[in-house]
Structure 1
């Protein structure tokens, strides 16, 4: 490019606009200095210097606010508009650079040096022209903002510099980028710069096109779904139907609101409902979410029953449903009394422990009735999977909440009486320990926020009254036992069983077998005979079965023989129940040598054991039979050693252990037996067998023995006493330290028995051995 003469011409700063050489365009001029500059140009040769402002917001630019490289242009036409603005038509001529700015007062004049493009051609320029035109053509095809006619005009230009400027004027570039092209004097460099810009713009446009197509597809799909949903709504509205998913979701929202669940649970449910609405019905996850929402709706979150805190009414109901069980009834009435005073007490956690058939489960149902609460029962017998308590996670196929949450759904209120039946029958394996999972359920400090794996939201169990039942306390883990209030229920006495049969069992069985009260009468002597000769149990379950058997036979008699009334007496009992199964009482018909009656405690209540001792010729070997446990074997060893140590005092041969083998047997041989309370019974039988003096048949005994003859305390005195009473014994020998337990024994039993507290074996022998027994 060559330089021309220096010129002095007026300056016109442009805002947001840049003019290339050879460009023809209209400009609107309104600033006072600019207007004066135009007027000066029109008076001279119509030349004016056009340059861009660096900052378009500057109203009165000075030397630093404008670019010094611009374009010398010729004013072709000027027109004054009604609003005072002047519209001019200008044509860019040459590049020019400001040498000096002269302030004329009303306008700026500049001394500029102009530049001429070097349009001589060579192979490199030809290649650059072709590349530039090819890129510009591609750009026009992608952009579609520039007409095809523009390209036709452009490709006819032969001067490389002019071609580059014209293409640059059509590109959507910022003022800074256009200024950089304007300031590029060298034509080759200018063409290279434009080729780079065109290539970048082409890539950007291609990317924009891809994004646009993707957005368009997404919008089309969304619009289609929206349109179809609206159509479905309109159709359902016209038909008056709400069967579609929209109506279903609306119905679920309404139910969620009515459930009155905590805020955080409600928000979780709404999120899941939103997911459910968007997922197709054919998706497997749709059914999982729907099931989860149904569970949240079905669970009671705030609904509760009002406790009936009438103490007298509750006491009457408990007495109506159960005979005896004074301790349990007293505990429930205490709870009601405290609740009436505080109205804020947490639900107690009671554990009723006792043999089968004593009414543990039915008692829990009566407690619910007395409180006017809902009653729900779950059986834990055989449960060995932790998820039975805590539920399964929703990721598993067929996942469900645990039994606790299922029970709450069944109850329908947040404060039911919840029975955990057979809590001692749980076990653990590789699937977890369900008893450990129950720790949270049965802890009043933790169960306010019980966490079920399926529900995943905290659930409040603090208002639930939990009642557990068990046969054997020893099989319940200690941490679980620590969380419960243990209430022991021993077996019933014969008198209690008689009352239970008359007041509850017979009435119930007559009704269940379709009979009328007038059609069947079972006399008291017959009931007592059933208790003594046809049952042997701590509870009344077998007694109820025998009464049911009588009812069945009565129904047959009434329907086949057309009798109107059947009366069952003791004499007629064999016609209904067959031969007697048991001999009333276990005491011997006369005093026996080497046989002593012991009292035992089992999970089924108390029982009596006949311990037999037989010395046979031998060498002092101690033989134990009867499937005895380790503790009982050790009791036998201790008793044997004690008798050996005082054999001389008792008048027994000193060297008996060298002449005889001692065989100790406890019938029944197939029944396992163990426990630390048979010591004095074995010792008494040993002394009787070795001394030849009989043991009193009416005496039953319980207590552990030491090598020095001390009698140690035992457990289960009440149950053992009841078994002795059932067996017809009249005297009970028991450890002196157990005297405090006599308060638990019913008065009717205490009045028919003689209790002998002992602290040493000497006292036991004095009361147990028949005839006069003096120690030598």
Structure 2
């Protein structure tokens, strides 16, 4: 076959067959150069389709090798620099090789000719193609009758196949396959296969369209009939429509699991609704009321999972420590396993913020496999929040107790009243009083909401309250609850909570992996001691998150090597320690005693200093002390005066000496009944010049007669003494029962001395005079005081007078 050279024009998304007449818009520089070259010669160009239409600058590999040689019939230059050309397909052309790529594609092309020899097989295939093209045109409805006639009028088999292919909605790949079929028989077979596939698709689309049309006609018919029915019912006075609604409500009431009283009330309201006009606004109120009655779980309960081992495992997974409350839940489950008639307890978890009261209630619900509902009482001051509004009010709704029961879907959920100590009252009523019925096991089986006006059984609900303090909870309400005290976590408990729970949680939250960083327990202890001062673990979790944020920044900057964070690394990442815990004294001191105090953040060591001065018996108190501590100081001062002779103090010392009592950290408010014996000991030490042992701490209140009264918070105080390195702790004898709460490891290292009288305290805490002399010189004020003391009122020096 002859080989000729032609400019090549790449086409995107279009393919031209021989004998086709088509307009092409040319905008690429290479393509326009090919057109310009062809116009200077024989006006013939080879059109090749691109394999990928997204390519703007194709290479020879991006083009098909078989295309159509066309003749340019017309050229028109458009605004913007583009060309519009009218071309007519002449014949097929196959690229033998590309000669040039710049400034346009130029190729050596083999010119193909059609072999239109008619055989019986080809004639049969042509007739079949005629019928199929007519069927395709009938289904697609996009081909005009004139086009159908012109295609069927073509007698040459090859030309007819090309014309049919040009009118089919085919992909470029399929059209290219037809173009590349040089043999007439192959071309006819290929186009027959393609047109049959298209006919099948069109037939499927037609069937789907018919189905959709039928459905639409059915919907329109139903809509029309409904509208007719509405018009008829309207003419009949709406009786039938209302009756359908009434019947629906009655059916729900009969099928619903309602109590007998609720069923009777619902049927009565349905009768009222039946007698009301449709336009009545009260009808909406009745419908809402009926919806609430039908939505409540009157007799629906969830089944408790009385697996004690599973419950213990869940509680231990979620919380470290908290032995008392866990024991109470296990007891409840044990009794539930023996009998189902037991009434649910009303628990009140009292403790400082951050110790896990709310999350513990969620864990209880998970352990029991019950639904969980939470209601925050902080700032609630309207009684209607608990009991609901009367239905006579616009927008009336049941109280939040009934709303919570509906939300749970069962009548025995775990219901948490959060922050019960934060409730207030005003002219709208006292919500605390409304809670009396809810939380009373003897009467909450008939709790009546103002909206429902029906008794609802709340006796199966496990109510849990949380509070930071019992002081603001009304006594009648407190009397109905079983109070479980949650003291602050010990240092050891905080470390364990962090190691077992918080560190892993924060590591995942910050996208850090175990092979990148880990935190040693000693580093956690450093964070607890130096960067937090709280009863709970919230701030500790924040500090751990702060630490891991610093690590994350270094990891992103590639400045971090995988390592375990040790105590010395904590200060580098978090800065200097924010808190310093008081440590035990290194040696005995005169006029300084170590006390123990209970604060919101746990136990603290409290140093009390007393200095005697020349004066007239004035007692000065500094250190921002509260009224209780001031009264304790007065009681201690009176005790020392009344026992001056036994302590070796001159009887008239109070005429010549002032005492200044100071508690360091003067900006921190201090109050409580725990410092009485400590102040008395410090005053006795200062006046009798007997040093206080450095390894002894004490706590307890004193009376004028010297009796030692019990105190609270012994566990936290003992932990503070242990943390400060003290060895002995003096505690009131009546606090013997509280020693069991102190961790075993702390009890092993501390000696607890139980006392009833102040004399016992002084015998343990004060060193003898003979052993205290060496410490007297360490305090300059005493030497000055001794010299001043030897001057009588007339100003004469009297060395024989015995110093105090």
**Structure 2-normalised TM-score?**
0.63
Among 507, 510, 514, the alignment partner of 1:510 is: 507
Matched, 1:526 2:523: yes
Which residue in 2 is equivalent to 1:428?
425
Written as runs of structure 1 = structure 2, the 5 A alignment for 1:342-741 is: 342-561=339-558, 565=562, 567-588=564-585, 590-602=587-599, 604-741=601-738
**Deviations for 1:119-164, whole angstroms, at most 9, x for unmatched residues?**
xxxxxxxxxxxxxxxxxxxxxxxxxxxxxxxxxxxxxxxxxxxxxx
Change in CA separation of 1:363 and 1:644 when aligned onto 2, cut-off 3 Å: same
Could you tell me which runs of 5 or more consecutive residues in structure 2 were left unpaired when the two chains were aligned.
1-224, 235-239, 773-803
Change in CA separation of 1:596 and 1:343 when aligned onto 2, cut-off 3 Å: same
**Deviations for 1:89-109, whole angstroms, at most 9, x for unmatched residues?**
xxxxxxxxxxxxxxxxxxxxx
Change in CA separation of 1:288 and 1:719 when aligned onto 2, cut-off 3 Å: farther
CA distance in structure 2 between the partners assigned to 1:281 and 1:620 by the alignment: 90
CA distance in structure 2 between the partners assigned to 1:283 and 1:552 by the alignment: 63
Contact 2:597 2:603 in 1 (8 A): yes
CA distance in structure 1 between the partners assigned to 2:465 and 2:379 by the alignment: 15
CA distance in structure 1 between the partners assigned to 2:533 and 2:634 by the alignment: 31
Q: CA deviation at 1:634?
A: 2.2
CA distance in structure 1 between the partners assigned to 2:682 and 2:265 by the alignment: 72
Contact 1:491 1:722 in 2 (8 A): no
Q: CA deviation at 1:463?
A: 0.3
Written as runs of structure 1 = structure 2, the 5 A alignment for 1:192-271 is: 232=229, 253=250, 255-257=252-254, 259-271=256-268
Q: CA deviation at 1:255?
A: 4.8
Which residue in 2 is equivalent to 1:753?
750
Q: CA deviation at 1:254?
A: 5.0
CA distance in structure 1 between the partners assigned to 2:616 and 2:394 by the alignment: 69
Which residue in 1 is equivalent to 2:125?
none
Q: CA deviation at 1:648?
A: 2.3
**Deviations for 1:299-335, whole angstroms, at most 9, x for unmatched residues?**
2222211111111221122222222222221111111
Q: CA deviation at 1:527?
A: 0.6
Contact 1:766 1:773 in 2 (8 A): no
CA distance in structure 2 between the partners assigned to 1:627 and 1:333 by the alignment: 46
CA distance in structure 1 between the partners assigned to 2:549 and 2:287 by the alignment: 50
CA distance in structure 2 between the partners assigned to 1:231 and 1:617 by the alignment: 110
CA distance in structure 2 between the partners assigned to 1:440 and 1:512 by the alignment: 44
CA distance in structure 1 between the partners assigned to 2:703 and 2:512 by the alignment: 59
Instruction: State the SS of the aligned residue for 1:648.
Output: coil
**Deviations for 1:229-282, whole angstroms, at most 9, x for unmatched residues?**
996558899xxxxx9877766655555455412122233234444555666777
Change in CA separation of 1:563 and 1:572 when aligned onto 2, cut-off 3 Å: closer
Q: CA deviation at 1:529?
A: 0.5
Contact 1:554 1:566 in 2 (8 A): no
CA distance in structure 2 between the partners assigned to 1:488 and 1:511 by the alignment: 33
Q: CA deviation at 1:602?
A: 4.2
Change in CA separation of 1:421 and 1:723 when aligned onto 2, cut-off 3 Å: farther
CA distance in structure 2 between the partners assigned to 1:324 and 1:665 by the alignment: 38
Contact 2:490 2:716 in 1 (8 A): no
Change in CA separation of 1:429 and 1:595 when aligned onto 2, cut-off 3 Å: farther
Instruction: State the SS of the aligned residue for 1:572.
Output: helix
Instruction: State the SS of the aligned residue for 2:658.
Output: strand
Change in CA separation of 1:752 and 1:279 when aligned onto 2, cut-off 3 Å: farther
Change in CA separation of 1:681 and 1:248 when aligned onto 2, cut-off 3 Å: farther
Change in CA separation of 1:397 and 1:520 when aligned onto 2, cut-off 3 Å: farther
Change in CA separation of 1:254 and 1:632 when aligned onto 2, cut-off 3 Å: farther
CA distance in structure 2 between the partners assigned to 1:244 and 1:511 by the alignment: 59
CA distance in structure 1 between the partners assigned to 2:684 and 2:241 by the alignment: 89
Contact 1:356 1:604 in 2 (8 A): no
Which residue in 2 is equivalent to 1:328?
325
Q: CA deviation at 1:734?
A: 0.2
CA distance in structure 1 between the partners assigned to 2:603 and 2:692 by the alignment: 21
Which residue in 1 is equivalent to 2:290?
293
Which residue in 1 is equivalent to 2:137?
none
**Deviations for 1:494-529, whole angstroms, at most 9, x for unmatched residues?**
222111111111122223334344443111110111
Written as runs of structure 1 = structure 2, the 5 A alignment for 1:125-164 is: none
Change in CA separation of 1:361 and 1:676 when aligned onto 2, cut-off 3 Å: same
Q: CA deviation at 1:379?
A: 1.8
Between stretches 302-311 and 490-499, larger displacement belongs to 490-499
Q: CA deviation at 1:294?
A: 3.3
CA distance in structure 2 between the partners assigned to 1:598 and 1:352 by the alignment: 29
CA distance in structure 1 between the partners assigned to 2:247 and 2:546 by the alignment: 57
CA distance in structure 2 between the partners assigned to 1:252 and 1:670 by the alignment: 69
CA distance in structure 1 between the partners assigned to 2:322 and 2:538 by the alignment: 16
Between stretches 458-467 and 740-749, larger displacement belongs to 740-749
Matched residue count: 544
Instruction: State the SS of the aligned residue for 2:567.
Output: coil
Written as runs of structure 1 = structure 2, the 5 A alignment for 1:295-314 is: 295-314=292-311
Contact 1:272 1:293 in 2 (8 A): yes
Q: CA deviation at 1:653?
A: 3.5
Change in CA separation of 1:430 and 1:611 when aligned onto 2, cut-off 3 Å: farther
Instruction: State the SS of the aligned residue for 2:448.
Output: coil
Contact 1:642 1:709 in 2 (8 A): yes
**Deviations for 1:523-568, whole angstroms, at most 9, x for unmatched residues?**
1110111111111222222111111212333333333438584532
Change in CA separation of 1:466 and 1:608 when aligned onto 2, cut-off 3 Å: farther
Q: CA deviation at 1:478?
A: 1.9
Between stretches 627-636 and 496-505, larger displacement belongs to 627-636
Contact 2:551 2:560 in 1 (8 A): no
Contact 1:732 1:756 in 2 (8 A): yes
Written as runs of structure 1 = structure 2, the 5 A alignment for 1:92-107 is: none
Q: CA deviation at 1:623?
A: 2.8
